[in-house]
Amino acid sequence: MSEIHQTEAQPGVASLVGGILEDAQKLVRQEVALARREVAQAWEKAKTGAALLVSAATVCSIAGVLMGLMLVKLLQQYLLPNHEWVCFGIVGGLAGLIGGALIYCGLNQINQVHLSLPQTAETLHQDAQAVSDAVSGGRASTHALVKR
């Protein structure tokens, strides 16, 4: 019997570069999708924080006016009958403290929004390293780049 030796044809440079470009395009599409997801999540947190601030401001305004008038009348009747302006000052100061606490809580919620997209930045760094390794190592390494 004669032995038939088949030699495997090595891919040309053009096909290697083409494969690398295809993989790079797929990586870019995946990174854009990841960035969109992260922006959507950050947007949801920002909307929640803004809604909380608006709701708190509305409710506190209405309640503050009513409670403030009630407390002023209460203080004037029982503690300072001849000093209505002092009663308004005391109640106004308390309302200011409560409003400041609500603003602080709302700003903390908004500060939790990260616009830097940390997960996308990390995967972009990993992808750049993998592409660098693939280019220096040849086409066979680039199949490990593509995320399935």
Domain that holds residue 111: 24-128
Query: For the segment 56-101, what is each residue's pLDDT rounded down to a tens digit?
Result: 989 978 987 888 888 888 888 888 888 888 888 888 888 889 889 9
Quickly state the pLDDT bin for 104 (edges 50, 70, 90): very high
Count of alpha carbons within 13 Å of 148, Cβ hemisphere only?
Answer: 2
34 located within any domain:
yes
Tally of CB atoms within 10 A around 83:
13
Find, among 102, 145, 140, 101, the residue nearest to 123 by Cα: 145
52 located within any domain:
yes
Count of alpha carbons within 13 Å of 18, Cβ hemisphere only?
Answer: 5
Count of alpha carbons within 13 Å of 107, Cβ hemisphere only?
Answer: 6
CB 130 within 8 A of CB 145: yes
116 located within any domain:
yes
7 located within any domain:
no
3 located within any domain:
no
- Residue 1 vs residue 129, higher pLDDT: 129
6 located within any domain:
no
Quickly state the pLDDT bin for 148 (edges 50, 70, 90): very low
- Average pLDDT on 4-20 reads 71
Give the count of domains, the chain: 1
Look-up: residue for tokens 């947190």?
45
Structure tokens at 95: 């309302």
